[in-house]
Structure 1
């Protein structure tokens, strides 16, 4: 029992029990650890036992108890050795308190049991709160640990899932890259084989149809066609047929002389010979018709051959002919057309896996910076207009990108068919119903352009800019298109700042102003072009200046208008002729507008 009061907590407890009776301020135990709380409970029970032994005699080794009368009486102290040691320790501990009490009062100390009970209950409440708080904190800590563990587990799962997806994406990218390389290799092999076969076909056809030769004429070089064996054979047969026709005509004349004789038998023989000669003539005419048809077929084949021959020459001269991949996406396969400052290639889109048309614009090295700037501004304007258009009758624009400082590329929808110009050269003329069907589709596209918030004038509508894809019409080449900034009436006009551009056979008179004023044009410019194209499809020739050059058109004044004449053959309906007249009216105010032409009864019948 010697070290019982060495515990600071027990000393604090005794101070709380005794000090209130002498006016000392109560103290509440500070927060302790779990081990000290357990020691507190044991110390409390021990103090209660010991306090009962010395509460009535704090200054002696005796204990105080109340008797039956309510007064205190002394009892002898315990004589055991252990108790004597404890008593000495207690006296030494309470010595300062004894001196204070003797100075204040000589009356015996009366213990305050109410304050003692309050002190113990407060301690128990604080201990209970601490324990409860500890339990709550442990529970909350445990729940937090579980939540954190779950989150860590989910994060690990997400990381594993993302890792698997990254591996899958990497694997798919590898497959995609291999697929692109495989497709590119297949296209290269196929197109290389086609190029070889095309050259072989040209060599074979050159013996049969002829070849394109070059000859020097003055200071320039001129092309001329040297006929092949088939052409020579057809011409020989036609020449022989014409000789036979001349002989037959001579026999007709001789037979006519015999009919004029007075002999009845001669007249009878003359009538028989006339019938025979007429039959022979009809046979010769049939043979001539067949030969002319064969020669027309040969002419079409020769035309196709010449186009392919020029295409191969231009393709060989192009710096983009060696299956170049532009922008890591577009594999150039075949040159399909060439203009003044541009080349159009058939290409394969390795990202979208589709065929496209790449129009490569090249600036002339000899141009000044101002000319280059004007050309770039012009093509940029074309791109800005074209990229907003989305219609089944308008060629789509997919992409625009720069190749180098002197060239850039626009990626367009690829049309696998020919253009209307090539189609007309092969067929000559079309049936009226077929021509109406084509014009209806063209007007559908023009109606879409005219219904834009700012109306668009194509201005360069001609058979070469009308393409076919899956048998359907597509309007192409918006390089000369005009935009009307005004909004309102159907007949808004805009200034023609690029006078002299375009294809003269398909432009109306208002585009060729003779004075110094800037011409004013409206969407009815395209309706004039529609009338010219419909006339050309029906009759196989242009209505104005057919066979003349653009310079001759200007010199002869045909661009300012001339009478419209309809040939007798083929037979076209009066409704169709009236529609063409309304489209080719020189006065703009009397000409059909886009809406009137698109919904005209001739096309809707």
Structure 2
């Protein structure tokens, strides 16, 4: 049987004991339990350190994965944009190729390939440039004028009624008379007109070898603002001449010279079908406005271009709807009387300039002509939205202000062509 002192000694060894105990000093020596607790604390600290390391490693993996996903997403967007551009370029090449195949097929089928026997037998056809519903445009050589021209052959449909044929002749004759009176460096010049057979006739036009704005936009989608502004200035120059009565007395505009007309005073004209396909380029890349088939002759009210006269709108549904202003879509008892001060072409000009800068039209993009009419797209075109920054090439605020002025919904508040020429964006040195 152990003595009591032995039990206390066992307990003391666990809890600790004074290793030296005198009246002057006490020295405590930890027992095994305290040592075990310190060992547990060290083990817990080690476990915590390992867990913290694992947590930091996992966080690093998350950050790494997020950055990787972000980078891959950005690259995917670039690749998708590149694919879309390649797709667009391929579609444009395919469309040009198909157009060329159709042109070649029509050229091969043409019974009169070499010569148009006009009253003077002076135009030799070289190759077909394009074909519409009831007309063909040929590159031809003028053996008398010793130069190339464009010959537009108008062909009647054998199934037409007499009334339809009379209407077609009246329409073509009206276009001929309008364009014959125009002499300006920004307007395609009409040179001649003659009958071919009892069912066809031809008009001879100045040849433009540089293609058209529609083709340019299909190839490039967007045009840098500096280049687009030059095209804009040249279109405005032509429109100002066309919109001004007494064209011989028209004044200087942004450095471009008006050409004299031998026909004396004439009425002002509203083009009414201004669109990229009717903006041609000559061999130097300068603008030539063409196709006056839907043009309006402004009645002479005797007061000059400044008077706010009006005329009935008789062409609802005609023209290319993407480029026509809201007032041309009002029908029924509320059918508008359009301003004789040309504001229709101003709207069209704004749409064209927007399309040059952003690659899309501001209203109705992706819609069919039928959908535009059915949904009243242009009637609801009350404000202009511009693509977000970064979604398109940088466009100046001055250019946007010019577009907003052109696309003013209210005909009464929209500037006419003459007023538009005073816009700051068109002044010399403006823009990029």
Q: Given the two structures, how large is their TM-score scaled by the length of structure 2?
A: 0.73
| CA spacing shift, 1:345–1:515, aligned 2, 3 Å | same
Q: Is the Cα–Cα contact under 8 Å of residues 406 and 415 in structure 2 kept in the other structure?
A: yes
Equivalent residue in structure 1 for 2:370, among 519, 528, 551:
551
Higher relative CO (Cα under 8 Å, sequence separation at least 6) belongs to: 2
CA positional deviation for 1:319: 3.6
Q: Is the Cα–Cα contact under 8 Å of residues 343 and 361 in structure 1 kept in the other structure?
A: yes
Equivalent residue in structure 2 for 1:594, among 417, 420, 427:
417
Q: Superposed, which structure 2 residues align to 1:170-569 within 5 Å?
A: 262=54, 293-320=85-112, 322-327=113-118, 328-453=121-246, 454-469=267-282, 470-486=284-300, 487-488=302-303, 489-490=305-306, 491-516=308-333, 519-521=336-338, 522=340, 523-562=342-381, 563-568=383-388, 569=391
CA positional deviation for 1:396: 0.5
Aligned mates of 2:58, 2:350 — CA distance in 1: 60
Give the aligned length. Answer: 346
Q: Report the equivalent of 1:231.
A: none
Q: Which has the larger radius of gyration?
A: 1
Q: Is the Cα–Cα contact under 8 Å of residues 116 and 196 in structure 2 kept in the other structure?
A: no
Q: Is the Cα–Cα contact under 8 Å of residues 358 and 409 in structure 1 kept in the other structure?
A: yes
Aligned mates of 2:201, 2:281 — CA distance in 1: 26
| CA spacing shift, 1:350–1:275, aligned 2, 3 Å | same
Aligned mates of 1:270, 1:372 — CA distance in 2: 76
| CA spacing shift, 1:331–1:582, aligned 2, 3 Å | same
Q: Superposed, which structure 2 residues align to 1:572-583 within 5 Å?
A: 572-583=395-406
| CA spacing shift, 1:462–1:281, aligned 2, 3 Å | closer
| SS of 1:589 mapped into structure 2 | coil
Q: Given the two structures, how large is their TM-score scaled by the length of structure 1?
A: 0.53
**5+ unaligned residues in a row in structure 2: which ranges?**
1-50, 247-266
Q: Is the Cα–Cα contact under 8 Å of residues 484 and 492 in structure 1 kept in the other structure?
A: no
CA positional deviation for 1:517: 5.9
| CA spacing shift, 1:273–1:446, aligned 2, 3 Å | closer
CA positional deviation for 1:270: 7.1
Q: Specify which structure has the higher proportion of helix.
A: 1
CA positional deviation for 1:287: 6.2
Please give the per-residue CA displacement for 1:177-196, whole angstroms capped at 9, x wherever unaligned. Answer: xxxxxxxxxxxxxxxxxxxx
| SS of 1:376 mapped into structure 2 | helix
CA positional deviation for 1:298: 3.0
Aligned mates of 1:572, 1:527 — CA distance in 2: 20
| CA spacing shift, 1:592–1:261, aligned 2, 3 Å | farther
Aligned mates of 2:331, 2:72 — CA distance in 1: 59
Aligned mates of 1:264, 1:377 — CA distance in 2: 85
Please give the per-residue CA displacement for 1:435-483, whole angstroms capped at 9, x wherever unaligned. Answer: 1111111110011012223211111110000000011000000111111
Please give the per-residue CA displacement for 1:185-210, whole angstroms capped at 9, x wherever unaligned. Answer: xxxxxxxxxxxxxxxxxxxxxxxxxx
CA positional deviation for 1:385: 1.5
Aligned mates of 2:240, 2:173 — CA distance in 1: 24
Aligned mates of 2:182, 2:101 — CA distance in 1: 35
| CA spacing shift, 1:499–1:260, aligned 2, 3 Å | farther
